[in-house]
């Protein structure tokens, strides 16, 4: 897995899928991709004609499909890289990348224990990779996903998450505007949501929390307050500077 991880490779954009009005999935062909675990990242390096170069890290959104990998990029207004990747970068264009990166915030489909995934906004991306890896591997580990979004239009992978899947429970909480048939008022995820949609602490689930800093801080505190072992709560935070 480590072999070849540090080599910069040239990938090509093979396919795009718009997830929301501001988020786009990029499927890249990367010859020689060494494979990865759900939850890992990839570094993308962009070079301008004058030689200026910049690198960003993106969570992988799915298990590798041969040499094909997928990321989902949220457009940050005024950002340096995300507007390029979501608006200009076109099918067939090359980009340099290396990876996979990160060996902590990962889920292995061989693990039988229950899993709680808590996503805030774009934090769904590495957690979706875990859901897809579970499906691809035929894992029977029971998974619950608690996903906080502002409005129904902000749900990534909406069609896929709506399809029933044995052993996967999906709960979406809307903070600004909810669909007409959603019970309750829009609200920020609180202790009651985590208690209802998650696992009891005595089931000792692996917990993965990903989202903006404030969201992750709150959710991790709630899980610890509900009795989850802090060592089984893995977190990944997106700062506002993470564009």
Partner 1 sequence: MGIVTPGFRGRARTADERLPPGQYLVEDFPVLSAGPTPRVRTENWRFTVTTETGRTHEWSWADLLALPSETPTVDIHCVTRWSKLGTSWRGVSLDTLLADVDTAADYVLAECHGGYTTNLPLEDLLDGQAWIAYEFEGEELAPEHGGPARLLVPHLYFWKSAKWIEGLRLTLDEDLGFWEAAGYHAYGDPWREQRYQGD
Binding site for partner 1 (CB under 8 A): 2, 5-6, 8, 10, 45-49, 51-57, 80, 84, 88-90, 93-96, 101-105, 213, 217, 220-221, 223-224, 230-231, 233-235, 237, 239-242
Closest approach, Cβ 19 to partner 1, in A, equals: 22
Cβ distance to partner 1 smaller for residue 163 or 231: 231
Cβ distance to partner 1 smaller for residue 118 or 128: 118
Closest approach, Cβ 233 to partner 1, in A, equals: 5
Cβ distance to partner 1 smaller for residue 84 or 151: 84
Closest approach, Cβ 98 to partner 1, in A, equals: 9
Cβ distance to partner 1 smaller for residue 158 or 224: 224
- To which residue do tokens 């502002």 refer? 150
Closest approach, Cβ 160 to partner 1, in A, equals: 28
Cβ distance to partner 1 smaller for residue 186 or 214: 214
Cβ distance to partner 1 smaller for residue 6 or 204: 6
Closest approach, Cβ 217 to partner 1, in A, equals: 6
Closest approach, Cβ 3 to partner 1, in A, equals: 11
Three-state SS for the chain is CCCCCCCCEEEEEEEEEEEECCEEEEEEECCCCCCCCECCEEEEEEECCCCCEEEEEEEECCCCECCEEEEEEECCCCCCCHHHHHHHCCCCCEEEEEEEECCCCCECCCCCCCEEEEEEHHHHHHHHHHHHHHHHHCCCCCEEEEEEECCHHHCCCHHHHHCCCCCEEEEEEECCCCCCCCCCCCCCCCHHHHHHHCCCHHHCCEEEEEEEHHHHHHHHHHHHHCCCCHHHEEEEEECCCCC
The CA distance from 108 to 112, in Å, is 9
């Amino acid at each position: 897995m480590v072999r070849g991880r540090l080599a910069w490779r040239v990938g090509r954009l093979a396919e795009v899928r718009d997830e929301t009005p501001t988020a786009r999935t990029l499927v890249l062909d990367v010859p020689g991709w060494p494979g990865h675990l759900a939850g890992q990242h990839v570094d993308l390096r962009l070079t301008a004609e004058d030689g200026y170069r910049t690198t960003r890290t993106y969570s992988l959104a799915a298990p590798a499909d041969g040499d094909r990998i997928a990321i989902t990029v949220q457009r940050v207004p005024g950002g340096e890289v995300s507007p390029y990747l979501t608006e200009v970068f076109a099918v067939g264009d090359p980009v340099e990348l290396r990876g996979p990166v990160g060996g902590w915030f990962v889920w292995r489909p061989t693990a039988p224990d229950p899993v709680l995934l808590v996503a805030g906004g774009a934090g769904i991306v590495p957690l979706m990779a875990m859901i897809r890896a579970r499906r691809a591997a035929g894992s029977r580990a029971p998974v619950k996903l608690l996903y906080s979004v502002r409005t129904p239009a902000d749900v990534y992978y909406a069609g896929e998450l709506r399809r029933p899947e044995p052993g996967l429970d999906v709960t979406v909480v809307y903070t600004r505007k909810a669909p007409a048939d959603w019970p309750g008022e829009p609200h920020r995820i609180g202790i009651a949501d985590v208690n209802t949609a998650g696992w009891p602490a005595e089931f000792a689930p692996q917990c993965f929390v990903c989202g903006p800093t404030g969201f992750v801080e709150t959710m991790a505190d709630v899980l610890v307050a509900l009795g989850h072992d802090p060592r089984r709560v893995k977190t990944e935070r997106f700062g506002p500077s993470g564009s």
